[in-house]
Structure 1
């Protein structure tokens, strides 16, 4: 016993060396400008948990928390919603490929950021916080680069990029992570990992187009906008974009595809998905409980409005739903839906996670948004995807390739096509069985995602931005990264070797050829 007591200081020292150093209560800023609650939910989950750990959190967002949280302050820019919905009708995006959509939306993003940076809310924030400073910034890495000037104004702390989907070529380039067009379908293509030759060609073209649009057009416009609001002091947009400490992607290979990742790139999933189920309103609970044939849940998310669907498509959907023996619960943004069949119930807002948790829900008709996909995966509900924009095509491709759902384009919806697709999904038990297995894998990784995010955030704080994680590829020019300089050197060396061999052969030939000349000349003299 005495020997154990004598060794106790050494044991405590060893334990102290093994455990990570404690992280002080840091001042952390979140910049999340997108006016879309589906984008905001995973960000809020991380920031609320950091606040609960004692960090002082300030969040610039169009979606302030409905219930206050200690240590959490919102900078409310909810005015962004009104402007964004005036200039963009998402239901019209179904006919446009995602890369073209990005090109079309660029001017709108620039105007949105200009309005946000011009607002009194941001000016008030800067008046107070420019002298206070922050220890860390979370930045929504999605078309808001003029906010880099704000980051500079609060002391240029380390930056963690975060994105509510799985990332594109632009985000991977910013952190130095490889993104191989032969094996990694870009989120803007809508391909699965099983690409044909022509899909690989299109994937490469899409990646070139996205890079050109983002780094060529958007960076240029954001550079001008940043100078307008913050002057000449901040470093260039491009430089800041390649100075991230960590990149958090709110998607995971379980809902995407395996890829090579650097240690400072995190794939996390289901950050916003609640493990506990909340009680439903009594009348809705009774309506779901009474569905003897089950329930089809229909929601196109928070951006695509069902009320904005073309009238002929809306009528085709209603006729198809009327033929189902199941009850249908539809998030529909108007008070009433003319021609609504008796088996269809509509509401402007619905508690989606708690509905998907109900045992009577057998199918989810979705636009393919990632947060909806994550919730369906957690609750093991098969899917019918009707993609409109952005990463929705990509997510729906994953549903189809995993055989846990089917795809139907809006342009192809008729009464018969929709009815046949729903009937296949409900009548073929294979979809539900595969989704149960899919859900088992998903839940296992989802369970660790939030804790992993928090550990890495505090790791970056402990190690002052963790510069040791940054990839050497960020220091290389594009031709060095592609080894074109090496290839050119090898080609020149090979060419030099060929030329040297040719020169040596020519000299050898000339050296051997004159040996026959004297006899030849002697014969000529004799003949003469």
Structure 2
């Protein structure tokens, strides 16, 4: 059908009007952590924004395997060597006291913050005339990186890759009452005993002083070094964060208060559309008469670096199972490998857990892995090593779909007993299915929600109306200590004065009563 000039002009005008209604933004995503699990969260958001028609520049130690439309990689590999060196000693460092682990952890944060900002590709990006409508920065021991937002004159959006912690809740003023909100680094629930509340308060007090008087001042030095022209001071900049996206969901944890600009988007990295498995893995899974158990210790801890006694414990355990086992093992050979075990240095974890013939997961208890396992309705055995892994496994045990085996106590009998207990308990499968149903029952996917809120902040120039007034208060004002001192102090002072007055009146009355009741002295008789 041939269109007339008038029809052609009308269609062109209509197309122009439609295009004018579409707003494409330009975003910078900083996913600096050299841990694949963290990168998966940041890259999932970057891909989601790109699919929505926006331009995305992502700074990270990793490069996309395939070019992605609307996504530009800025690969800063300097962080890799720092974190790989630290993670190589992960098993040893996990044995140290929690306070010492925290100090070492934050020391690593200072190093990776400095390394990224001095990387030539980042320096070049900062010198460019590039503009962004939003700067999205992973919140993980890198507070000086937040200065990139003001540098590019864009709103700052934080991305918390493993749930709520003081690093990200402080950015938007989300309250965290220590009476029922445990630290993410402790394995307490929201129903703590008296001793646990004391322990939680003690730990949070230590963390508060450590962060504010030791760690953050060092990040401030880096902020001033790399952003000398920024007008906001370091602490003002942190408190002006427009939005924090949190890799958590209430159905997977417990209820707690959030400021309106802290949004839960946990699980946005999970693929809602399944991809076909590689042929050899597919045949191995479908040929298992008794089902398959998937085993991975995550991206930071390599199975090939496990001590021989722990490796032999795993081999002995798997050899006694009638199920087949997929083991993420980062070497081509595994001496003593049982016939029912398939090893590979990489597995498409998300797609494997989605398979109906996979019946359980053995994991380190990381937030991404446990979230994927719950989404795909698979109960799991956890061998936590550090960080929030203990808390994640404590929640799984409390909810009845997980069993913990401590690394120090890892032996073949204990691991075998934990696996058998899990796969032979129909209640565990039922409970994880119920949990999955609650998690899936959302009006939109976590990724859709994340994209909406990022766009919302861009549309409303930082959405400053969401900012909590608590960000303008100091510690004394926030906890109302000055008001309580005046109010309750005044009441106590008045009561004290009333008490003194009553005591004075009482004493006066006593004296009067004594004077009246005491007999008068008889007059002496006259002597002649």
1:520 and 1:412 map into 2 onto residues whose CA distance is: 84
- C-alpha distance 526-101 of structure 1, shift in aligned 2 (>3 A): same
Q: CA deviation at 1:173?
A: 2.3
In the TM superposition, what whole-angstrom CA distance separates every residue of 1:113-162 from its partner, at most 9, and x where no partner exists?
A: 2122111111111121xx3332211111121112233333222x211111
Provide TM-score, normalisation by structure 1. Answer: 0.90
The alignment status of 1:67 with 2:66, answered yes or no, reads yes
Structure 2 residue matching 1:363: 3-state secondary structure? strand
- C-alpha distance 134-206 of structure 1, shift in aligned 2 (>3 A): same
Q: Say whether the 8 Å CA contact 1:23–1:462 is kept in structure 2.
A: no
Instruction: Map 1:311-322 to 2 at 5 A.
Output: 311-322=308-319
- C-alpha distance 169-515 of structure 1, shift in aligned 2 (>3 A): same
- Report 1 or 2 for greater relative contact order, CA contacts < 8 Å, sequence distance ≥ 6: 1
Q: Say whether the 8 Å CA contact 2:93–2:101 is kept in structure 1.
A: yes
1:332 and 1:527 map into 2 onto residues whose CA distance is: 120
Provide TM-score, normalisation by structure 2. Answer: 0.90
1:488 and 1:249 map into 2 onto residues whose CA distance is: 36
Equivalent residue, structure 2, for 1:11: none
Q: CA deviation at 1:93?
A: 4.2
1:92 and 1:68 map into 2 onto residues whose CA distance is: 38
Structure 1 residue matching 2:245: 3-state secondary structure? strand
Residues 242-251 or 105-114, more deviating: 105-114
Equivalent residue, structure 2, for 1:101: 101
In the TM superposition, what whole-angstrom CA distance separates every residue of 1:247-294 from its partner, at most 9, and x where no partner exists?
A: 110111111111122211111221011122211121221111111111
Instruction: Map 1:64-463 to 2 at 5 A.
Output: 64-89=63-88, 90-96=90-96, 100-128=100-128, 131-155=129-153, 157-231=154-228, 233-445=230-442, 447-463=444-460
Equivalent residue, structure 1, for 2:44: 45
Q: Say whether the 8 Å CA contact 1:368–1:396 is kept in structure 2.
A: yes
Structure 2 residue matching 1:70: 3-state secondary structure? coil
Query: How many residues get paired?
Result: 505
Which of 491, 495, 498 pairs up with 2:492? 495
Q: Say whether the 8 Å CA contact 2:139–2:167 is kept in structure 1.
A: no
Q: CA deviation at 1:22?
A: 6.0
2:417 and 2:497 map into 1 onto residues whose CA distance is: 71
In the TM superposition, what whole-angstrom CA distance separates every residue of 1:181-228 from its partner, at most 9, and x where no partner exists?
A: 111122111222332221222111222222223232221111112223
Residues 428-437 or 400-409, more deviating: 428-437
Structure 2 residue matching 1:88: 3-state secondary structure? helix
Structure 2 residue matching 1:254: 3-state secondary structure? helix
Q: CA deviation at 1:451?
A: 1.6
- C-alpha distance 518-381 of structure 1, shift in aligned 2 (>3 A): closer
Structure 2 residue matching 1:266: 3-state secondary structure? strand
1:346 and 1:446 map into 2 onto residues whose CA distance is: 39
1:244 and 1:434 map into 2 onto residues whose CA distance is: 38
- C-alpha distance 149-101 of structure 1, shift in aligned 2 (>3 A): same
Q: CA deviation at 1:505?
A: 3.0
Q: Say whether the 8 Å CA contact 1:170–1:211 is kept in structure 2.
A: no
Q: Say whether the 8 Å CA contact 1:330–1:345 is kept in structure 2.
A: yes
Q: CA deviation at 1:383?
A: 0.3
In the TM superposition, what whole-angstrom CA distance separates every residue of 1:317-374 from its partner, at most 9, and x where no partner exists?
A: 2111111111111001111111211111110111111111122111100001111112
Residues 187-196 or 501-510, more deviating: 501-510
2:504 and 2:60 map into 1 onto residues whose CA distance is: 77
1:472 and 1:524 map into 2 onto residues whose CA distance is: 79
1:491 and 1:266 map into 2 onto residues whose CA distance is: 37
* Poorly superposed stretches of 4+, deviation over 6 Å: 518-522
User: Unaligned stretches of 5+ in structure 1?
Assistant: 1-20
Structure 1 residue matching 2:252: 3-state secondary structure? coil
Structure 1 residue matching 2:334: 3-state secondary structure? coil
- C-alpha distance 507-290 of structure 1, shift in aligned 2 (>3 A): closer
1:252 and 1:447 map into 2 onto residues whose CA distance is: 13
- C-alpha distance 36-525 of structure 1, shift in aligned 2 (>3 A): farther
Aligned CA RMSD, in angstroms, stands at 2.4
1:67 and 1:526 map into 2 onto residues whose CA distance is: 124
1:432 and 1:32 map into 2 onto residues whose CA distance is: 35
Equivalent residue, structure 1, for 2:56: 57
2:108 and 2:442 map into 1 onto residues whose CA distance is: 36
Residues 309-318 or 439-448, more deviating: 439-448
